[in-house]
Amino acid sequence: MRDSTLDTCERYGLLPLQNGDRSVIFSSFTAANESGATQMVSLSNSSNSLVLGFEDRSVAKGPSDNDFNDIIVKVRESH
């Protein structure tokens, strides 16, 4: 786990690589993915944390199982 300080006035995204291959990158920003495919969903949202789930296979190209549990990221607020 890594703690980082983020500026709340900025927008941040996640860019996971598929199997470490730099030519296959998915984005948490839907518009940045092929055909505008959703590769990340919010699994949980509370007052001080957010849990995000990524799909590891291209939703646009298939075959994707659409389980969005291949990479799980929790972002939490700290004081």
Contact assessment for residue 14 and residue 28, using Cβ atoms and an 8 Å cutoff? yes
Q: What percent of the chain has pLDDT over 70?
A: 96
CA 16 from chain centre, in angstroms, equals 7
35: left (phi over 0), alpha (psi -120 to 50) or beta: left
Q: What's the pLDDT score for residue 1?
A: 61
Residue 57: which of 78, 32, 38 has the closest Cα? Answer: 38
Q: Give the residues across from 25 on adjacent strands.
A: 17
Taking only the tens place, the pLDDT of each residue in 28-77 is 999 999 999 999 999 988 888 889 999 988 899 878 899 999 989 988 87
Which residues have a Cβ under 8 Å from the Cβ of 6 and sit 6 or more positions away? Answer: 12
Count CB neighbours of 26 within 10 A: 26
* The model's pTM: 0.75
Q: What's the pLDDT score for residue 51?
A: 94
